Structures are given as C-alpha cells and as structure tokens.
Chain A
Amino acid sequence: MTTVSVVESLRQQIATCETQLGYLRQQLAEAEHLQQQRRLRGEESVRRTTDYDPLAHDMSYGLSDDFRSEIFAALSHAEEEQQEQSVQRWPLDRTEYKRYGRQLIMPEIGLQGQLRLKNASVLIVGVGGLGCPAAAYLVGAGVGTVGLVDGDVVEESNLHRQILHSTPRIGMTKVDSARVALNSLNPNVRLISHPTRLSPESAIATFQPYDLVLDCTDTPASRYLISDTCVLLGKPLVSASALRTDGQLMVLNNPPRAKGDGSGGPCYRCVFPKPPPPESVVSCGDGGILGPVVGVMGVLQALEAIKVITAEQPGVNGNSVRPTPADSPSLLIFSAYANPMFRSIRLRARKPKCAACSTQASVTPDALNSGSLDYVQFCGSINPVNTLSANERISVDNYAKIRMEVNPFTGMEPSRDSHILVDVREKVQFDLCSLDGSINIPFSTVSSVLTKEASEVESKWASELRSHSDKPIFVLCRLGNDSQLTVKRMKELGLDNGGQRWIGDIKGGLRAWRENVDNDFPEY
C-alpha cells in the first residue's frame, strides 16, 4: 500500500470512528433525556397525589410533619415495590417484546425460544463472506453473546460480499469493523472480540465459554481444528463453505454426545477422514466467489444456529426429543446455476474409528494445547511451482526491455512481431485486461489431454504456434505458476523444435508486471 492510501485509509477510519462516536453521544443524550422524563413524571405523579387526593390534602394541611413523612416514606416504598414488580412482571424487557415481536409470535420461537436465544452464546470463527451475514442475523435475533474470531483486516476486495464491513473501514480489523456494524444493529447483544487467527494452542480456551460454534473460515486446516475442538468440548458446530457459484452446509457434532456414543452427530473428520490434496484446494481469491452465494450460506448458518439453540430441550420426564428423519445428519448443497438450486444429501453417522469422536480418538485436549497437532502440515501446502531452469525464465524487467528496447539475449530490435506472447489465464480473466499483442490460450485448454476427438481442437492452438516456428514464445499468467507448467507442456509437444526455438515463462506473471513495470495494470 502506498503512503498516500495509508493516510487516506487512516483519515477514513477516523471519520468512521467519529461518526460512531457521534452516534453514541446521540444515544447517550436520548437515554439521559428519557431518564429525565421518567424522573419528572415520577415527581409529577407524587405532586398530583398531593394536589388531588383527599388523603394527600390531609397530609399536607391536617397532619403533623412526622406522620406525614412516615406516610410519604411508605407510599414511595410501595411505589418502588410496584416498579420492581413491573421489572419482574414480564419475562422480557418491553423493548425486547417490540424488537423481537415478529419472531416471538412464531411457534418455532415463542417466549421460550427467545429466552434461549438471550441466554445463548455463539462463537463465529471468521468474519468474512460467511461470518458477516451469519453474525448479522444472530445479533439481530437477540442471541445474548456473540464472539468474533478473525485476524485479518478489511480489504477492498472483501466488500462485495462481506456485508458488515464498509468502504471507510478498509484497513480496520475485521473484528472491530464488524463490532461497529453489529452494535448499531442491536446494542443489546454482548459482543466479544478475538482479533487473532485461531491456533491449536488457543482453540480450547477460546471455545470454552460458548454454547455453539459457527465455522466461517476458508481453509481445510482451520476446518479440522474447529471440528476437533468442538468434539473435545462437546459443542455443536454449524459448518459452511462456498466457492464460485456453489455452497455447502453441515450441522456437525449435533447432538454432541460423548466420544464413542453412536447416537451423537458425526464430526468433520467422520465425513472427511483425510484432507484433500492441497493442489485441489481453491480459494475465493483464485477461483472467485459470487457475493449472494456465500451470503446465502452464511444466512443458512444463522438459521441452523437458531434452530439448534431454540430446539426443545430434554423433556421433564428425562425423555430427550429424538431426532426426526429431517434432523439426521445431512449435507446441503447449493448450486446457484443448477436446477434445483438446493439439494440435501444424507450423510453417514459417526465413524466408529474416527480420529476425533470415537473411543479410539487420537485427538486429545493435551495434544491440542501442546501444539503437537500440526493442522497445516496435516493438510499440506502447495509450494510455488518451480519446474523450469533459469534459462527458461525471464524477469518482467527483462521482458519489458524486449518489448521496449533491444533484446538482451538475441540483440533483436524491439518489436511486437519479434516474438509470441502467450497469456494462459482463462478467457474471462484475459478479457478483463491484457498486454497489447498477447494471445490467449487458456491453461485449461493447454492441460487437456490429447484424445482422438480433441486432437483437432487442440492442434488449432498448437499448429498456430508451430506455423511461426522462428519466433520465441513467452508465456505469461496471473502469478507465474501456470506459465511454467505451460512451457513444460509446450516442450513436451515439441513446439520448441528440439531446442531450436526459445520457449520460456515470465517470472511472477502479471502481478510482478504490475509491481515492477506498469503500476497502472489493473489488480483484481
């Protein structure tokens, strides 16, 4: 970030805080005004009593001072008692009746449901695309305590989907930004900040005080950690995820029975005993995400949380309410562009040999607290691609020289026609912005297998490149990984004429190009 934008961001943050401060001052003024009015009304009612009541008349004019003060004391005591009674008279505050009226009149919630919400505490891990809508609905519904865990700060690219954050709060921690929005939505909810990334060492202590956990994170490692912690502490877990146009939702460890108790709900490890290979894991940053898709999933998490919290508790006779078939473990799949959009899948029960929730579990509180469970290692990580030798690669600075100056390798004059620039980003990205003169051969096309039917289609791009066999080929992508794999593939296909033609990749891709050569090239 440049200094200018830091200054601007700070200015905006100050402006936001000042707005918030102004809002709080206004609230304080209103509250003081209300208090003043109540006091005045109280004094007035006493005066009225004094003015019009015959007894008061006697007290004012016909009784001794001592007796009068005794009566006054008794009367005011009675009034206090009445006030106390009015506090206890209704199970909810009058403002709560008003605020939650529309859900209170539903049999699914009712008075008991609202009281359960009020007494509940929910931990939301991740205050992003899922966490924002989930938190908004839970705070709106009057969940008593909501904890927020996130170590990130608000970025501009978050705002199309992370609805609690706002443009002036870019750069603020997500937890603080969410607090501002949630507090103004419903100031009656107690909000607890955990402005750090969840770690195995801190997970148990963080989760302990809460009744229910929402997994709104975005990595496999955090999903296993959150599930394991919920199993160890016996807390139900509402887990959701989203990517591109799809979303998935599961209620796990519900009911949260003891280890090895088959009547308890399955955990994340029962459903996914092994983590996916890291190269199959796609983030929203790489794959894309449509705002309402992740929004739908976050809203559904809030809904499932409300259902779990307000569910009938074990009956007075000790008969626990049996889960109905609809409550049996399931995975809800949302596909925005499929018909139907929603699909519910029956999941397995607890896995008898599950590493977390069975009697043979290897996941223990000690293992977690000591940090001996390495979730990042368990899930693996992708190393940046580094498959080419140094002479098959060129830096963005040197490539810029080729475009604008004499080629340092061949001594060729700068010319668009002197070489072929292949951009292997998918077409949709290529259409957003590209370098002049580059041609688009998407990586998915490059990496598809040569089958008999496909060979004709494939030969189009390959034969096109073959027809200019004298020109070196420079391969470019977004970050510099796919470009290397493409160079390898082109050489496998013999496009380098057995080493006669130079084929190489531009290191660091368009990100490096923007950083080192052309600051004006759009970042997306």
Chain B
Amino acid sequence: MSEEKRKDAVQVTVEFSGGLEMLFEHQRKLQISMAKKGEEVPNVAELVSHLCNDVMKDSRKDLFVLDGTVRPGILVLINDADWELEGEDQYELQEGDNILFVSTLHGG
C-alpha cells in the first residue's frame, strides 16, 4: 500500500475486455504501478510495452502488440474515451487513470 503513495510512481487501473483478458490469465482488472524517470511521466506507450514484456505470460504477444504498438482491432480507452481523443500513446499517465483495452468482437 505504501507504493500507492510513492511520488516516484504512477498508479493506474488497467482493464481488459473482449477476450484480451484471456492473454492475461483471465484477469479483467489489474493495478499497475509505473515508475517515473525523474521528472519524466510514463506514457501509454510505455505502459503497453510494460504490459507486453513484463505482465503478459501468454507467448502469443502478437495478439496484443504488433509493430511496436497495440495491434489493429484493439481499442485503447483512457478514462472511458477513445485514446485518439487524448493524444494516443503519447498520453502521459496520471494517478488513478483507467486504461481499458478492448478487443473488437466479430461474432454474431
């Protein structure tokens, strides 16, 4: 809990929907702490690479990240808004942000 108060890190909630949770051991919601590098605040791009490299245990990495960014067919939502409204992967994380990754579904 002391980590939450740390000033050198940003705490965010990460959520998965549309089947992406299956790549993260069926966890729908994670609390992630992203360290600050001095004054530099981590952005969504860094969060994505942290999730892919350190958190994700499934070997099928390309179902989450492709060509260095979130693969086509996944919407990234920052506090319930499309990340395109917030500066995409350059958005700087703020304490308590909710980042939702939604895989599009095609069944019908």
- What is A's interface to B at a CB cutoff of 8 Å? 126, 128-131, 215-220, 223, 240-244, 246-248, 271-277, 279-284, 287, 289, 294, 331, 333, 335, 338, 343-348, 444, 447-449, 451, 454
| CB–CB B104/A277 < 8 A | no
| CB–CB B105/A277 < 8 A | no
Name the CB-closest residue of B to A128.
B108
| CB–CB A289/B77 < 8 A | no
In the bound complex, how far is the Cα of B107 from the Cα of A273, in angstroms? 19
Chain B nearest Cβ from A221, distance in angstroms: 9
User: Interface digits, B71-108 against A, CB 8 Å rule (1 contact, 0 not)?
Assistant: 11111010011101100000000000000101111111
Q: Which of A243, A274, A346 sits near B19, CB closer than 8 Å?
A: A243
Q: Which of A216, A218, A331 sits near B75, CB closer than 8 Å?
A: A331
Given known contacts A243-B105, A246-B19, A279-B62, what 5 new A-B pairs fall within 8 Å (CB)? Answer: A130-B108, A276-B74, A335-B17, A448-B57, A449-B57
Chain A residue contacts of B4, Cβ below 8 A: none
| CB–CB A271/B57 < 8 A | no
| CB–CB B19/A242 < 8 A | no
Q: Is B59 an interface residue (CB 8 A)?
A: yes
Instruction: Give the size of the chain B interface in residues (CB under 8 angstroms).
Output: 32
| CB–CB B104/A272 < 8 A | yes
Name the CB-closest residue of A to B15.
A338
| Sampled A-B contacts (17; CB under 8 Å) | A241-B105, A247-B105, A272-B104, A274-B72, A274-B73, A275-B72, A276-B73, A277-B62, A280-B63, A280-B71, A280-B103, A287-B107, A331-B102, A344-B80, A444-B58, A447-B60, A449-B59
Chain B residue contacts of A344, Cβ below 8 A: 80
In the bound complex, how far is the Cα of B59 from the Cα of A273, in angstroms? 26
| CB–CB A277/B108 < 8 A | no
Name the CB-closest residue of B to A270.
B84
In the bound complex, how far is the Cα of B106 from the Cα of A294, in angstroms? 11
| CB–CB A246/B17 < 8 A | yes
Name the CB-closest residue of B to A351.
B84
| CB–CB B106/A241 < 8 A | yes
Name the CB-closest residue of B to A274.
B72
In the bound complex, how far is the Cα of B76 from the Cα of A391, in angstroms? 45
| CB–CB A346/B80 < 8 A | yes
| CB–CB B59/A448 < 8 A | yes
Name the CB-closest residue of B to A446.
B59
Chain A residue contacts of B57, Cβ below 8 A: 448-449, 451, 454
Q: Which of B60, B72, B107 sits near A294, CB closer than 8 Å?
A: B107
In the bound complex, how far is the Cα of B108 from the Cα of A131, in angstroms? 8
Which of B17, B28, B108 counts the most A-chain CB atoms under 10 A from its CB? B108
